[in-house]
Structure 1
Amino acid sequence: MTQSLPHLSLFDADYKALVIGASGAIGGAFVAAFQADPRCTQVTQVSRSQSAGFDVLNAESIAHQADVCRTSGPYHIIIDATGALTIHGVGPEKSLASLREDTLMQNFHINAVGPVMVLRHFAPLLAAGPSVYAKLSARVGSISDNTKGGWYGYRAAKAALNMLLQTAAIELQRKNAELRVVALQPGTVRSDLSQAFANSVPHLLDPAESVEGMLAALKALTPKSGAHYVDYKGEPIAW
């Protein structure tokens, strides 16, 4: 269980948090961590199961949900914990021969297009001054770190997501230089998403452990031009 850790509070004053994808393992752990922080006065949760009609694949539903959440804002931190590794029951591709156009397109839609539409509609809900917009990414989205190959669609979608975050950060920081836009690598977390690959991972993280690390990483980041790309240990990842 996530414990109350005041030293991990992201802000020196009271703040409001919004978690998108709150019903997932990592999203739920973020909610629990914010609820345990006495500095956090409000945690707003968005997910398909909690928010009627919300669908990351539907821009109209995203815009509607942003309007619903506007009344509870502004938010000092927004976490987007949405994403998928298995598409239409098919896991990451291991070879060119296994590529399918429909699966590739869906991968981009779920892991890049949907999230940037979320960013488009939810970014205006961020508070002025010190604030954070963090999106779960993945180390496999790093082009320079790719030494094993495989996982074509997921790698490419996460690389596209990282570029979208970097581009959006530059634009958003023209209005708020204290905004930190962050691509977060949560590690391999014990969840439905990682279940099929758990046997090949030497150390699976509990969701609370991953989130505790990511919150510490976010607290340590200083504002800069463009987006940050870091793992749950706070280590920067090469784009």
Structure 2
Amino acid sequence: MQQALVIGASGGIGRALCAELVRRDWQVTGLSRSKDGLDVTDAATVNNQMGALEGPFQRIIIATGALEIDKHSPEKALKHITPEGMAAQFALNATGPALVLAHAARLMPRDAPCVVATLSARVGSIGDNRAGGWHSYRAAKAALNQIIRGAAIELGRSHKQLACIALHPGTVATPFTEKYLGRHPAVAPDHAATRLLDVMDTLGPEQSGQFFDYAGKPVSW
């Protein structure tokens, strides 16, 4: 049986990904802050939790992240940026996944197909930004995309069959987005999970280091 590791397993999308993977006959290990104490913003916690795992995992999915952190809402204008809000966005949405990725090489098979996917966001695309605003969240997700690009290059040297990718899940109806629903069509978490896993199933090393949406279409960096 193939094994999957889901980081952020208690969140709306993470929980749905775990359920859908089980339905597809995967053996799933799920870790989260609320259930397991895995705080991706704390390096010691990440090292302890990830260091205790044994693979190989054919799929590692990082489903952590937040749009609003500690009452710091997405900024509507540059004048609303605060150092604290921006630092919090980077800690959770960029540094956290990077700390997890630091353990990926040991946990994946070197001689078999494997996928590492992290949930990014289309608003992190520099090329697609036509509205402005949401500066800290956009910047953190853009940084995450760069981390994925670099990780794909590094990990690809030892894991020749790896696809390391960033994924835009679309607008998903979860507590993460409830204050911002209505601007874009939203889908239920289980539907989002199905779409994301379907995309992962189509990816190979030729797509490693790229950014895709929930329909498998490339997203501009």
2:64 maps to which of 73, 77, 82: 82
Equivalent AA in structure 2 for residue 238 of structure 1: S
Q: Give the whole-Å Cα distance in 2 for the aligned partners of 1:66 and 1:222.
A: 25
Partner of 2:95: 113
Residue 158 in structure 1 maps to residue 129 in structure 2:
no
Instruction: Give the structure 2 partner of residue 54 of structure 1.
Output: 38
- Residue among 100, 120, 124 paired with 2:82: 100
The one-letter code matched in structure 2 to 1:187 is G
Mapped partners of 1:49, 1:97: distance in 2: 34
- Measured in 2, the distance between the counterparts of 1:225 and 1:147 equals 26
Would the aligned equivalents of 2:60 and 2:117 in 1 still touch at CA under 8 Å? yes
What corresponds to 1:147 in structure 2? Answer: 130
Tell me how far 1:226 sits from its aligned partner: 4.4
2:13 match:
26
Asked whether the equivalents of residues 109 and 159 of structure 2 are also in contact (C-alpha less than 8 Å), the reply is: no
Structure 1 residue 157, shift from structure 2 partner: 0.3
Identify the residue that residue 53 of structure 2 maps to in structure 1: 69
The percent of aligned pairs where both chains have the same amino acid is 43
Q: Residue 30 of structure 2 corresponds to which residue in structure 1?
A: 45
What is the CA deviation profile of residues 52-78 of structure 1, one whole-angstrom value per residue up to 9, with x for unaligned ones? x321111111011012222xx210001
Runs of 4+ in structure 1 off by over 3 angstroms are none
- Residue 186 of structure 1 pairs with residue 166 of structure 2: no
Distance in 2, Cα, partners of 1:54 & 1:223: 29
Residue 35 of structure 1 and its aligned partner are, at CA, apart by 0.7
Residue 169 of structure 1 aligns with an amino acid whose one-letter code is A
| Partner Cα separation in structure 2 for residue 172 and residue 74 of structure 1 | 15
Distance 1:63 1:90 in 2: 27
With the length of structure 1 as denominator, give the TM-score of the two structures. Answer: 0.89
- Kept after mapping to 2: 8 A contact 1:87/1:106: yes
CA distance in 2, matches of 1:225, 1:172: 13
Task: From the superposition, tell whether residues 211 and 66 of structure 1 become closer, same or farther in structure 2 (CA, over 3 Å).
Answer: same
In structure 2, list runs of 5 or more residues that go unmatched.
none
Computed over aligned residues only, the root mean square deviation of the Cα atoms, in angstroms, reads: 1.2
Which of 216, 221, 225 is matched with 2:198 structurally?
216
Distance 1:226 1:218 in 2: 11
Query: In 2, Cα distance between the equivalents of 1:133 and 1:226?
Result: 9
What residue in structure 2 maps to residue 4 of structure 1? Answer: none
Does the 8 Å CA contact 1:170/1:225 hold for their aligned counterparts? no
Q: TM-score, normalised by structure 2?
A: 0.96
Output the amino acid matched with 1:120: A
Aligned residues: 220
Deviation readout 1:173-199 (Å, 9 max, x if unpaired) = 000111000101000000001000012
Work out whether 1:17 is the aligned partner of 2:4: yes
Q: Which consecutive unaligned segments of at least 5 residues does structure 1 have?
A: 1-13
Determine the C-alpha separation between the residues in 2 that align with 1:225 and 1:85.
Answer: 27
- What per-residue deviation string (whole Å, max 9, x for no partner) do you get for residues 10-42 of structure 1? xxxx3101111000010001100111013x2x1
Residue of structure 2 equivalent to 1:176:
159
Match of 2:186 in 1: 204
**Distance in 2 between the 1:122 and 1:63 partners?**
12
